[in-house]
Structure formats: structure tokens, C-alpha cells
């Protein structure tokens, strides 16, 4: 019994030592499935509770802290998250990013239907019906949370490869903004 207890204690100490070191690092852990589908995956561990991370996705005020200055959120299955990077613009104008909300589980998961805007070629905009982003919010104890963003549904060809590279760079930057917004202050 004492060996098991000692082992458990060592595991806890290891986790307590490693989690702060991992905190705020944003990593690209993308891969290709056995069936050949690309998964654009970005991961980070944040030194904040899952409820604070969820608030950054599930409230307009939270999303404004890291996503974009102009946000309109209709949080429900079938709802949407619409954003604009230009503070002077309005939702609906060219440049608006529209993410349909396919489903969510509070403080655990949200799945967005990615609709490519006019920035992307018409050829792939007509084919983006399967493009999704699944965001997992995973509790690591009471004060740390792992966020995993997985984008799938990519098409094939040069235009899709260009879009993939665009989102690889953009999503890494965006999740760094999330990490910064939640660690600079006491949450959204």
C-alpha cells in the first residue's frame, strides 16, 4: 500500500511540475488520419479554470478579448459566431467571418462549421461544406485547462493546400491570443 501511495504522490508531483511549464505554449500537433484526411490541430495548456476558457468562447465579451473586436454570438445548436477583425466595420460587411455552431457541451466542447469568406477562391468556397473546427476544453485539475482545436474537412488541391497553410498560421496566432488574454488578467 505504501508503494502505491508513494507512486501516486510522485505522479501528482510530476503533474504539478510539468503543467506550469506547459502552460501558455501553443503547439501545432497536426496529423493525417489513416484514411488520408488532414487534421489541423493546435493545442495549449492554460493556467486558468475551464469555466474561464469556456467564457472566452461562449460570451461576446470573452470572444472580444482574443478573437476580434467586433463579435456577434448566438450560442445555441444551429446558432453562429460572427466576427470582424476591423473594429470600425460591422457584422455582415465583406470580411465578416461566420462560424456556424453545430453543437456544444458547456465547458467541454464546441463544434464550428467553418464557412470560408470572400478572402478564399470561389472554387473552395463552393466545396467547404465539410470544413469544421472542433474545440475541446479539457480540465487538468481545478486551475489548469487544455484547449485542443482540430480543423477537419479539408479538400484536395493547391487552393485547399493554401487555405490549410493560412489556417495553420492563423489558428496558431489566434490561440496565442487566447492564452495571452486569459493569463494577463483574471479571465474574461
**Chain-centre distance for alpha carbon 132:** 11
On the question of pLDDT at 20 being above 60, the answer is no
Q: What is the pTM of this model?
A: 0.84
Mean pLDDT (the chain) is: 88
Q: 64 or 184: whose pLDDT is higher? A: 64
pLDDT tier, 183 (very low <50, low <70, confident <90, very high otherwise): confident
CA distances from 136 to 95, 106, 110 (A): 26, 10, 7
Query: What CATH number is given for 24-183 in this structure?
Result: 3.30.530.20
Q: Where do runs of H (alpha helix) occur along the chain? A: 2-22, 50-58, 60-64, 122-125, 158-183
Q: What is the pLDDT of residue 3?
A: 54
The per-residue pLDDT for range 61-81, each reduced to its tens digit, is 999 999 999 999 999 999 999
The per-residue pLDDT for range 143-167, each reduced to its tens digit, is 999 999 999 999 999 999 999 999 9
Interatomic CA distance for residues 29 and 137, integer angstroms: 16
Amino acid at each position: 500500500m505504501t508503494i502505491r501511495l508513494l507512486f501516486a504522490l510522485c505522479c501528482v508531483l510530476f503533474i504539478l511540475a510539468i503543467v506550469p511549464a506547459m502552460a501558455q505554449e501553443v503547439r501545432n500537433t497536426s496529423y493525417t488520419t489513416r484514411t488520408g484526411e488532414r487534421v489541423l490541430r493546435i493545442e495549449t495548456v492554460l493556467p486558468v479554470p475551464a469555466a474561464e476558457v469556456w467564457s472566452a468562447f461562449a460570451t461576446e465579451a470573452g470572444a472580444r478579448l482574443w478573437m476580434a473586436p467586433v463579435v456577434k454570438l448566438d450560442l445555441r445548436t444551429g446558432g453562429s459566431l460572427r466576427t470582424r477583425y476591423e473594429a470600425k466595420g460591422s457584422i455582415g460587411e465583406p470580411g465578416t467571418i461566420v462560424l456556424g455552431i453545430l453543437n456544444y457541451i458547456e465547458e467541454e466542447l464546441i463544434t464550428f462549421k467553418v464557412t470560408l469568406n470572400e478572402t478564399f477562391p470561389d472554387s473552395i468556397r463552393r466545396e467547404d461544406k465539410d470544413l469544421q473546427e472542433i474545440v475541446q476544453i479539457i480540465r487538468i485539475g481545478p486551475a489548469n485547462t487544455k484547449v485542443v482545436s482540430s480543423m477537419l474537412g479539408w479538400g484536395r488541391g493547391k487552393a485547399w493546400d493554401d487555405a490549410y497553410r493560412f489556417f495553420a498560421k492563423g489558428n496558431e496566432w489566434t490561440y496565442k491570443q487566447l492564452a495571452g488574454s486569459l493569463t494577463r488578467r483574471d479571465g474574461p
